[in-house]
């Protein structure tokens, strides 16, 4: 169950959590016509900090562009709104879910008059794959459900409708007694988990699936590749046959929710020694040290909530990025004061 916060941001105003509704016949409900991001905010010695917010925000606007959706709000406005929302909800650490969706108006495939609506929610969320998963690892299977063929769904977009496939993968794994699953691409090669990228380690070399049209190009994935290279560990991106999963020394998931989660068995075949391996643990430690502010943020990955509220930490996109993102500046100031809660 979601641990509810008090407030949600909707198109410039902060509203009570229970008032964040959309119409039953909105295109988002009928056809999954929405895009979103999942972002973590961590408690650090210097206050709450959002991990790689600007990269998540760019991907949100990329997803909007792919699906021909133009949000009303600029990246800077969403940054300020998100920081303000975290503070209003009095959260030191949380999961953040910005969403852009098509609302009520049309009932067919052409969105026409359906408005574009933008929401931001945040709430406390602990370890995604269960207590002890980061320390002990998880047992997974190879799913009978595969990822879509490239040029069916745009895999680089993070869109709600895509996750029906992910739900099938996750539900099948749970029904068969596994925590999670790894899906194959249509060509039978390793793709990704239901909501995670997959890495394996063999003879000290890390390997992960390349951006092949079947995976989401994960932001945590990119972070782990950078961290591995910082630690002097070789990383290869390319194709992975299924059988390499069974013969790897280590296998692990990465993702905003999963962070860096070791995999201890696949299809009941033990991975390595059946515990988190040394490479996985080294990467996990460095990742967690960065996000919790225990080591210097040498890559500039943390956006501190208090600084973002004051505007001092809002990183400006380049002119090329701004043109690519595209939304016009909103002409009126954001209405950030919460509406009266009729239940209070």
Catalytic residue positions? 158
Q: Where are the alpha helices (DSSP H) in the chain?
A: 27-31, 53-66, 75-88, 133-136, 163-175, 219-230, 242-247, 278-291, 305-310, 319-325
Among 260, 341, 343, 298, which residue's Cα sits nearest to residue 88?
341
Distance CA 302, CA 43 (A): 11
First to last CA, the chain: 24
Contact 5, 16 (CB under 8 A): no
Enter the tokens of residue 130. 């269960």
The pairing of strands 138-142 and 180-184 is: parallel
Q: How many H helices and E strands in the chain? A: 10, 17
Contact 36, 98 (CB under 8 A): yes
What does the DSSP assignment read for 29-48?
HHH--EEE--EEEE--TTS-
* Helices 219-230 + 53-66 axis angle, to 10: 140
Q: How far is CA 331 from CA 135, 250, 294, in A?
A: 49, 52, 40
Contact 208, 239 (CB under 8 A): no
Q: CB within 8 A of 276, min separation 6: which ones?
A: 135, 136, 137, 250, 252, 262, 264, 284
| DSSP 3-state percent helix, strand, coil across the chain (nearest 5) | 30, 25, 45
């Amino acid at each position: 169950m979601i641990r509810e916060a008090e407030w949600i941001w909707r198109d410039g105003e902060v509203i009570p959590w229970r008032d964040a509704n959309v119409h039953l016949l909105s295109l988002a409900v009928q056809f999954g016509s929405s895009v979103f991001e999942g972002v973590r905010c961590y408690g650090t010695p210097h206050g709450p900090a959002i991990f790689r917010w600007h990269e998540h925000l760019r991907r949100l606007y990329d997803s909007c562009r792919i699906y021909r959706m133009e949000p009303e709000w600029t990246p800077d406005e969403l940054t300020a709104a998100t920081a303000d929302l975290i503070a209003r909800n009095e959260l030191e650490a949380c999961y953040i879910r910005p969403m852009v969706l098509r609302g009520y108006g049309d009932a067919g495939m052409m969105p026409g008059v359906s408005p574009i609506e933008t929401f931001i929610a945040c709430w406390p969320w602990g370890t995604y794959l269960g207590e002890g998963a980061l320390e002990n690892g998880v047992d997974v299977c190879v799913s009978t459900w595969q990822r879509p063929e490239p040029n069916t769904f745009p895999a680089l977009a993070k869109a709600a409708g895509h996750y029906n496939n992910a739900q099938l993968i996750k539900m099948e794994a749970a029904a068969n007694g596994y925590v999670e699953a790894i899906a194959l691409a249509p060509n039978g090669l390793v793709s990704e988990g239901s909501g995670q990228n997959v890495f394996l380690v063999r003879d000290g070399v890390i390997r992960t699936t390349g951006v092949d049209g079947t995976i989401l190009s994960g932001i945590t994935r990119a972070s782990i590749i950078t961290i591995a290279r910082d630690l002097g560990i070789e990383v290869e991106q390319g194709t992975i046959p299924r059988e390499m999963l069974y013969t790897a020394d280590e296998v692990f998931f990465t993702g905003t929710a999963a962070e860096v989660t070791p995999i201890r068995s696949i299809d009941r075949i033990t991975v390595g020694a059946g515990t988190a391996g040394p490479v996985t643990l080294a990467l996990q430690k460095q990742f967690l040290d960065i996000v919790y502010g225990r080591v210097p943020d040498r890559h500039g990955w943390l956006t501190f909530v208090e600084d973002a509220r004051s505007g001092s930490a809002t990183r400006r996109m380049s002119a090329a990025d701004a043109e690519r993102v595209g939304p016009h500046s909103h002409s009126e100031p954001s209405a950030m004061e919460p509406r009266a809660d009729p239940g209070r």
